[in-house]
Amino acid sequence: MKNSVSKYSSFFLSGVILLLLLAAYFSLPSFREFVDTTIRVLTNGNTDITRAYFKDFGVWGPVAIILFIILQMFLIIFPSWIPIIVAVMAYGFWWGSLISLTGVVLASYIGYFIGEKLKGVFLTKIFGEDKLKKMDFWIGNYGFGSVILFRISPFLSNDSISFIAGMLGMELKKFIYATLCGMVPLTLAIAYFSEDPSKLKEGLYWIGGVGLVAYAIYILIDYKKRRKNSNSKA
């Protein structure tokens, strides 16, 4: 029973946050109007209208996107690339990419320090023992390259990678550098396809496919290297 609760605790946390947002949506008319208007603007297909809408928010527009990227660490039901698409649609290729990368770096710092301070018990309850063990294995064995590959593929779950890096004591500068090495090309690629919504779905598949292929090649090369070193020692 305990293992079952631990296994689904990350979904439970996401559900609680989602329920709070739904409660706010149905109980606060101003919040509901804001959400409805924002969704309508983002899905209208007119870039000029979208950017004019977000321009009215001033500095709070980018701040809201950055805060959502940070919150997304705990919302595993939301893909990490959604805020990137929103940022690019709202602020264009370069500014949208910069806002997204700023959010990712801040979220990575926060996640790293949470993992470093709270260690295993608390995070196991949040993300589940099985998931943490899996991420522990990849970062423990593949370190820098593992962080890059989990970051660069939009279809690999990486919501707990910052926490694990902090738990394992991975060097902070090394972790942030690996995060940027993965997120910069991913962000620029998503930003490129986000400027033409008709190509976005196909673009995400291409990005994910390239990331998974690179991931498989890296593991294969590393496996052969480890096997060779093991045989030489024997």
- Average pLDDT over every residue of 110-139: 71
Determine which of 73-77, 127-131, 191-195 has the lowest per-residue pLDDT on average.
Answer: 127-131
Number of domains in the chain: 1
Could you write out the three-class secondary structure of the chain?
CHHHHHHHHHHHHHHHHHHHHHHHHHHCHHHHHHHHHHHHHHCCCCHHHHHHHHHCCCCHHHHHHHHHHHHHHHCCCCCCCHHHHHHHHHHHHHHHHHHHHHHHHHHHHHHHHHHHHHHHHHHHHHHCHHHHHHHHHHHHHHHHHHHHHHHHCCCCCCCCHHHHHHHHCCCHHHHHHHHHHHHHHHHHHHHHHHCCHHHHHHHHHHHHHHHHHHHHHHHHHHHHHHHHHHHHHC
pLDDT tens digits, 170-204? 888 989 998 898 889 888 888 888 777 667 777 77
- Computed over every residue of the chain, the mean pLDDT equals 78
pTM: 0.76
Domain that holds residue 163: 2-233
96 or 167: which carries more pLDDT confidence? 96
Q: Which pLDDT band, with edges at 50, 70 and 90, does 115 fall under?
A: confident
> Is the pLDDT at 135 greater than 80, yes or no?
no
